Every structure is written in C-alpha cells, then in structure tokens.
Amino acid sequence: MPTRLIRRRGGFSLVELLVTIIIAGIAFLAMVPLFVQASQTSQGERSRNVARNLAQDRIEKIRVLGYADITLANLESSTFYGSGVFGTTASSSGTGGASKTYLVKYSVREYTYADVLIPDGSPASGTGAHKKVSVTLSWGIDTNNDGIGDTGKPSPIKPVTLATIFYKQWSGPQIVNLTAGSAYTPQLADFPDAAHYDQHSGERWLYPPYSIAASLVTATIFSEDMRFMTNPADATDRGYVRFTVTPQRGAALAPWVEYHAVAAPVSAAYSHSWAWSALPEGVYRLDATAFAYDLKQGNTFTIYVRIEKGAPAAPASLTATAGSNQVLLSWPASTAGDYDHYEVRRVNKTTLETTLLQGPTENLQASSYIDSTAVNDTTYTYSVYVVDQIGLSSPAVSQDATPSTIAGVKPNAPIDLKVVASGATAMLTWQTPTTTPAPIVGYDVFKDGVFLKNTTSTSTSDVVGYDSDHHYQVQAKTAVGMASDYATLFAGQSSFVVGGVAWARVVIGAPATYTIHVTTSNKAWTVFLEVSHDNGVSWSSVGSSWAIPAGSSHDWTSQPAGIYRAYYIQGIRKYGSPGTVTASGPSGTSYTIAF
C-alpha cells in the first residue's frame, strides 16, 4: 500500500513571537536617549535663536541713544528711556501665548582716540572717542551672579553675545568741565523756603550775591584733545573756545547774547574774564564750544549761572476794581530776570486784619488776581509783591478798594445808536443812558454779531469799503466787567433783527468811478496804469500801456475808487531813464498826473 506524506502547516509559535518583541523592545529602548537629546537640542536652538533676535533688538535700541547716555547704569535700568526698553531681563512670547524670560548682560567699555581703555570711574570717563558695547542673552538661573544663566532648561545653555562700537558724533576737541568764577552751591539751610529752592538746585551761583565784579569763566579741554588745538605745521594757527551767554528768565533780557573767541593757551584751560556786573540779575545759560585749529567743532558744555543783585523792583502800578463781594486786581508784569511769583496781601482797614491771599504755595504767575472772599461795604488795602527765586521780596505796591452790592449790578443800556455811511466808512454814534445804577467805564462795539472793539468814547468808525452791508450793536461795561443790554436805536435808524435784538444797519453803495488823466511834458512817454489793494501787494493791470506823445494826454475812465485801491502809474520815456508816480485815494471825479 502506498505511503502518504503529510505536510505540516503553521506559523510562529507564541514563544517565538514573544522573543522577537523582547529583542525589538531592547533595541528601541536603546534609541530613546537619542530622541530625547534631539528634542532638547532643537529646543535649545530655538531658545538660542530667540536670544539672538532679542540681543539684536537691544543693540538697535542702543543705537538711538546719545553717546553720553550709553552707560552701564542706564542700560541696566528697566526705567531708562521708558519702562521695559532696557534692563537686565527680556521676554519673548511663545506658542499659545506663553512667554519666556531671558537674562541680559551688558558691557560698556570706553576708549580714547588712541584706542586706550579708559577705566570705569576714572576722571577721564566720558572723554573718550568711542565705546565698545556688548549684549549677552541667556536663560535659566544665574547661580554664579555673573548675569548669565547657567542652570535651567532647555540645556545646555548657550549664551548669545553681540557687540558693536559707537563713535562720538563730533570730530573736534571735547570740553570736560566749565566753571564760572567762585561758583557756590547753596545749601538748603541758606533758604527758609527749601521746596521753593529745589527746582533751581541744578544752577551754579556767583557768590557773594551782592558784590559781583568780573568773573573768570574757564573751559577745560580733555588733555588728549589738545593736539587738535594747534596746527603742528604752524604754531600760530590755533583753535579757540567760544563762550555764549543766553538769558533763561525775564523777557527784558531776551536780546542779550555774547560771543568770545579765546586763543589757545599752553594748558588745557581756556579762560575769559567776563564782566557779569553788566548783566541784569537773573538766570543765564553759559555754553562753551571748542573748535580745533582746522575749525572742526567739538561738544558744547553747558552750565547755568545765576546773578543776584538784591530784591526785585515793585510792580509799576496796581489797579483794584471793586465788584459785589469781589475785587479785581491787575498790575504790569514784572521785568525782573529772576522773577518767580507774586504775593498778594489784604488788610481790612477797619479791623487791621491781614490776610495772605497768594503766597509761595499758590505760586501765582499771572499779573492779575480776583479776591472772591471780599465782603461788601468793607474797605481793604491790597498790596502786591514780586518775589524772586531765592525768596527776596520787592517793596509793595498798594491800592484801596471797597466792594459793594451796586458794583455787581449791570448798567443801563446806551441809547440812540445811529450808524451812517461816510464814503466807504461806517460812522457810529450813541448816547450814555440818562441814569444808570452802576458807573460806565467803556463800551463794547459789535459788528455782524462779532466783537469789534472797545472804546471809552460814545462814537467810533469802521472802514468797510464800498458795496457792503453791515449791522452794529453796542453794550456799556462797568469796571468789573458787568455788561448792559444792547443799545436802543435812534429813531428812523435802519435795522436788522437778530435773535430778537435790533441791530443798526448801514448799506454802502457801489463804488464811485474816477478818471485817471495823464499828461506829458515836452517828451514822449509810454505810460502804464496798475491798481492794487491798500497794502501795496498784488498789483494787477487795469489797462494796456498807452504811448502819449510829447505835450499830449490820455484818460483811463471809469476807474473804481475807495480806500482799498491804490494807483501805480509808471512812465517810460523814449530816451532816458524811466519815471514813476505812485498815488492813492483819488478825491475827485478826475485825477491828474503829469510826466
């Protein structure tokens, strides 16, 4: 019987499969650190790229600073140049709005023209030619207190450092100090009003204040820059220092400016003897600018000098105008160069009680004041003082005033307002009311609903020109500014009603016309006629030129007249220089000009 072969069918056994999984797991487990390291490296590079961008941003922000402002203290301050612009930290937003904080470290080193390092804090600091600035960005925790993170994630921490050089923006010699005579810095104990003095604590004072003579002004040039002050090929070709004084307080001193050029000395100190006694008292800005022998300009060094010669002068006058329960005070503004504020005092003439209405605390600057605490039917003596910047007070200027109920009452309105035309001018007249409860001191005149002028007279004029239509009104005013109703109109006066108020109306007709009659002598002329407004600008031709034979004439007819027109007549002779006649305001029906 034949033998049958039976072929076995099947796959991997369970044991084989488990062995395979175990072997593969061991292999993949050995690769996990590679993936972790790759992820950390990727995160570190992302952080480093962000740090590089932040460092570049800080460098660009430093570029906008002035040379003198680029200091380590300024760059490390989070409030310098605005909140968060600089400082020792920087933030960057990540995905999902999360932010990451980076550490920022700066280095600022200053060098001379010869590229020699100037040590921090040395007397020569700030006198170099350029600064080398570096910005280092890192992250994590600074355990070494050196401004750079050394522990944290992602790791490893790889700081980013960017550096650049900033040069001075002037090419000439640099002044490192400027003094004015025996400069004296006052102590707060010298002045009872310390708070008042604080705002001027940056000034330099010439001392003693009451005996001012010539003062030595000295500008010191950086020793290394002295090589720019004398031409090595010509010792007589020297640079100089320009001194400038400019008033800072007091309008009366505005024109005062002086310049002085000083030849180069042997040392670095350039001096000039300045007669400060010629200056009125006040605060002055003193500038010194150095120029090299080749006229290259250096920096400008500035200090403030105060000249004190005693108490300021009293105001020239004082006006006290009484109202109802108030008094209006006014006086001319002080011309003192060191004026600081005004003080106002009031004395009750019955009880002799003295009241300080305006003192140092109120710091009154305006040359007027309203006392709204006055009581009617009480007489007061008001006194005004000028106080300078160190608290010296002027003598008083005084005036009595008695507020009363009647002072707060508006006056009666003017009567019989009349407006008539006179040529191109509106003529206004009115009458004072027969009776009024309050004295009238002036009148406000209005034109077409707008304030025109104030006058103390009962008449005025207004030049309006031809072919115009206007309306006017008048109000009476008291000394304390109380205004009356509008004036009543003269019987038969043409009027124009606005808001229920009748305004006096005047209509000026079309302009009259004139003839310009031009005659010549025994020589021929070509004559031109031009017309302009009364300001002499915007000339415009009103007729073609006209050749006038010798001993003949020509007429320009129908020329409009009026105060807004001026006539310019130019004649050019056939042989010889031209002749010109300028005239304005023809007063007749013809106007004759002879050449």
CATH assignment of the domain containing 265: 2.60.40.10
| Same domain assignment for residues 245 and 366 | no
| Same domain assignment for residues 504 and 519 | no
pLDDT tier, 595 (very low <50, low <70, confident <90, very high otherwise):
low
| Same domain assignment for residues 214 and 277 | yes
| Same domain assignment for residues 356 and 448 | no
Residues 6+ apart with CB under 8 A from 30: none
| Same domain assignment for residues 323 and 296 | no
Dist. CA 314–CA 344, nearest whole Å: 12
For residue 72, is it within any domain? yes
Residues 6+ apart with CB under 8 A from 194: 188
Sign (positive or negative) of CA dihedral 19, 21, 27, 30: negative
pLDDT of 38: 59
**Average pLDDT of span 251-278:** 54
Mean pLDDT lowest among 339-343, 376-380, 544-548: 544-548
Higher pLDDT, 541 or 220: 220
pLDDT tier, 415 (very low <50, low <70, confident <90, very high otherwise):
very high
pLDDT of 9: 55
Q: How many domains in the chain?
A: 5
- Of 380, 402, 424, the residue that ends a domain is 402
pLDDT of 511: 61
Omega of the bond leading into 586 within 30 degrees of 0 (cis): no
508, 513, 494, 502: which is closest to 565 by C-alpha? 513
CATH number of the domain enclosing 586: 2.60.40
446, 440, 325, 312: which is closest to 388 by C-alpha? 312
3-state class of 16 per DSSP?
helix
Contact 165, 273 (CB under 8 A): no
In the chain, % of residues over pLDDT 90 = 27
pLDDT of 528: 61
Sign (positive or negative) of CA dihedral 167, 171, 173, 176: negative
For residue 6, is it within any domain? no
For residue 117, is it within any domain? yes
Mean pLDDT lowest among 252-266, 391-405, 540-554: 252-266
pLDDT of 587: 41
- Of 402, 420, 441, the residue that ends a domain is 402
pLDDT of 581: 44
* Highest-scoring range by mean pLDDT, 62-66, 168-172, 500-504: 500-504
Mean pLDDT lowest among 203-217, 439-453, 537-551: 203-217
Tokens of 310: 């005693």
The boundaries of the domain holding residue 429 are: 409-508
Partners of residue 184 on adjacent β-strands: 205
| Same domain assignment for residues 501 and 522 | no
Average pLDDT, the chain: 76
Residue 291's Cα: distance from chain center in Å? Answer: 29
